[in-house]
Structures are given as structure tokens and as C-alpha cells.
């Protein structure tokens, strides 16, 4: 029978929640410190970094909302559960990164380059940047540790897992914290350039660079969540293994059509049109369906729902002959 929440997904959600909470607390403290440092030093790059941290904090709040709401069990109105809802909130988090961080940073950088700025004492900003670097590094370490553990459990290289993982909460934390560390270096470079030359141009360039960086992160996260909202299948090698498992079941002659759908991290749906042996009885077909579901659950813990449609092979071939373009 289909399960609303597989144990693997529950473990993933606990780890994802911890990762997001750590990132949220770190970014909230950093944001307040950056605002104070930016106002004291007059640095547009510091204010851009403050906007960056505020956007990251909002992002983490949205991701926590996504994790909580996606755990709701299936009901009459949502028989397949609420797993995909996390991608709606994660998409909003990507929008928050774009609006709250990238747009402000680009605006502030352009304003500084065109209007100039009065530089204040940068020492407070250097201290804040150093502390922020340590905190962001700790948050990134937490996210990378979970992502690496998930990748190892699936036997995938870390980079490949991060690119294709349906756990966009952890992906968001890793990408945003990585961008935050790069942004801190850019902000420090802008401060140092302004201190050495007495010109705010370097600070403006740093702000623009931070804005471009955030645009890239928002685009990557937005694209990942849109892809999952539209419907992403399981990877091709997994689909081929699923097909092979089904063909191992007695009474199954052929898998005519196989559809898979990632619904949430650790939760996937499998639907297939299956050709059973012509001499199989109704009881044989029922047994084969139960056995096929059991085999898939055992071989692929993430497969929580299995739907098999008995379809005559000759009828399928005739249908394809009548619709060659389908």
C-alpha cells in the first residue's frame, strides 16, 4: 500500500530542518550586525551584504514553512499528499533572494557609482565581516555535511547529487551560504579598495558584483523548483532498474509504458501500463500487482506509490500504429 510519509523522507526532513534552522539563526544575527556596520562605515557593499543576509533569513523562514506544510498526510482533497507544496514555498524563497538581495545590491551599486559615497571608519565593518565569515562557514559546513551524507547513501558524487537533488531546502542553504562567503570577500575587497584609494568606486563595484552573484543563485534555485513543480521523473538509470524489477515478476510479459514522478525528497510515484500473460487469471494478475509493488518498495525505498494498469500488448501496438506521432 502507498505510504504518506516514508521513513527515509522523515529522516531527510529532520536533517533538512536542522540545516535550515542553523542557517536562519546565523543569517539573522549577521544581518543585524551588517546593518550597523554599513551605517557606521557608510559602505554600500556592507549595506548590500546586509540586504543579502536579510534575504537569506527570509528564505530560511520560507523553507521552514515548506518543510512543515509538506509533511501533512494525504487527505480526501489531496490524496497524493502535500509533498510538492515545499517547492511552491522554495520558489518563493528564490524570489525573495532576487527581490530582497539582488535588486537592492544592484541598485545600491549603481547609486554609489553615479552619486558617490562618503566613506566612514571601516574597522567595524572588517570585524563584522570576519565574524560573519565564521558563522556563514559553520552554516555552510552543516549544509554540506547533510548533503554529502545524502549523496553517500545514494551512491552519488556530491556535485551530481547537489545538482539533481529534490531536497531544495538543503540545496538552497548550500548555495546561499556559498554565495554569502563569496559576497563577504567581495565586500571586504570593496572596503579595502575604498580605504586605499579614497574612492567609493570600489565599493560600488563590490555591490554590483554581489547583486550579480545573488541573481545567479536566485535563477538556479528558481529553475530547480519550477522543474520539480512541473514534474520531474526519476533518473533514467533508476527507471531502467524499475522496469527490470517489474519484468522479474511472474505473469508480467512486458512494461509497455512507465511513468515516474518525484513528489518530494524520499517520495516518488510509479505508474506503468503492463502486459500480463494471456493465460493469467484475475487472481494471478492481482498477485502479480501486489508482488510488483512489494519488490519496488524493497528495491527503491523512495517509491511510495505504485499504480499498475493491465494493458494488452497488441492493443498498445495497435494504438501506437494509429497514432504514429504520439
pLDDT for 309 equals 93
Q: Which residue's entry shows cell 511472474?
A: 250
pLDDT for 291 equals 94
pLDDT for 258 equals 95
pLDDT for 90 equals 82
pLDDT along the chain (326 residues), means of 10: 43 64 75 76 70 75 76 78 82 78 80 71 79 84 86 84 84 85 88 80 86 88 89 90 94 93 88 91 92 92 91 62 44
Predicted TM-score of the model (pTM): 0.73
Residues linked to residue 267 through DSSP beta bridges, in sequence order:
264
Q: Which domains, from first to last, does the chain contain?
A: 7-230 (1.20.1510.10), 236-322 (3.30.70.1350)
Contact assessment for residue 25 and residue 37, using Cβ atoms and an 8 Å cutoff: no
Cβ of 63: how many Cβ atoms within 10 Å? 28
Q: Which residue's entry shows cell 495497435?
A: 318
At residue 5, the 3 state secondary structure works out as coil
pLDDT for 324 equals 46
C-alpha torsion sign, points 296, 159, 62, 134: positive
Tell me the CA distances in angstroms from 165 to 22, 52, 127, 266, one per residue in order. Answer: 20, 24, 36, 10
Give the sheet arrangement for strand 267-276, strand by strand: 252-264, 267-276, 303-310
Of the CA atoms within 13 Å of residue 82, those in its CB half-sphere come to 16
pLDDT for 1 equals 35
Amino acid at each position: 500500500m502507498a505510504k504518506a510519509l516514508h521513513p527515509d523522507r522523515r529522516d531527510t526532513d529532520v536533517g533538512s530542518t536542522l540545516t535550515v534552522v542553523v542557517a536562519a539563526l546565523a543569517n539573522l544575527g549577521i544581518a543585524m550586525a551588517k546593518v550597523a556596520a554599513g551605517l557606521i562605515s557608510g559602505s554600500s557593499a556592507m549595506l548590500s551584504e546586509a540586504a543579502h543576509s536579510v534575504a537569506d533569513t527570509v528564505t530560511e523562514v520560507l523553507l521552514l514553512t515548506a518543510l512543515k506544510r509538506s509533511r501533512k498526510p494525504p487527505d480526501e482533497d489531496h490524496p497524493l499528499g502535500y509533498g510538492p507544496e515545499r517547492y511552491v514555498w522554495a520558489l518563493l524563497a528564490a524570489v525573495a533572494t532576487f527581490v530582497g538581495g539582488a535588486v537592492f545590491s544592484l541598485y545600491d551599486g549603481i547609486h554609489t557609482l553615479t552619486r558617490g559615497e562618503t566613506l566612514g571608519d571601516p574597522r567595524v565593518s572588517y570585524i563584522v565581516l570576519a565574524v560573519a565569515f565564521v558563522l556563514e562557514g559553520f552554516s555552510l559546513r552543516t549544509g554540506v555535511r547533510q548533503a554529502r551524507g545524502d549523496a553517500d547513501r545514494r551512491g552519488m558524487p556530491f556535485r551530481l547529487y547537489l545538482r539533481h537533488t529534490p531536497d531544495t531546502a538543503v540545496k538552497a542553504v548550500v548555495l546561499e551560504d556559498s554565495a554569502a562567503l563569496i559576497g563577504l570577500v567581495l565586500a571586504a575587497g570593496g572596503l579595502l579598495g575604498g580605504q586605499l584609494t579614497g574612492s567609493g568606486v570600489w565599493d560600488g563595484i563590490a555591490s554590483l558584483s554581489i547583486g550579480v552573484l545573488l541573481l545567479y543563485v536566485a535563477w538556479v534555485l528558481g529553475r530547480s523548483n519550477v522543474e520539480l513543480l512541473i514534474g520531474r521523473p526519476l533518473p533514467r538509470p533508476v527507471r531502467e532498474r524499475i522496469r527490470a524489477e517489474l519484468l522479474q515478476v511472474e505473469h508480467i510479459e512486458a512494461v509497455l509504458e512507465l511513468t515516474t514522478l518525484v513528489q518530494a525528497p524520499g517520495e516518488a510515484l510509479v505508474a506503468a501500463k503492463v502486459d500480463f500473460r494471456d493465460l493469467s487469471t484475475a487472481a494471478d494478475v492481482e498477485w502479480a500487482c501486489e508482488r510488483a509493488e512489494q519488490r519496488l518498495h524493497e528495491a527503491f525505498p523512495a517509491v511510495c506509490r505504485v499504480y499498475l494498469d493491465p494493458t494488452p500488448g497488441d492493443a498498445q501496438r495497435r494504438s501506437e500504429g494509429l497514432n504514429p506521432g504520439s
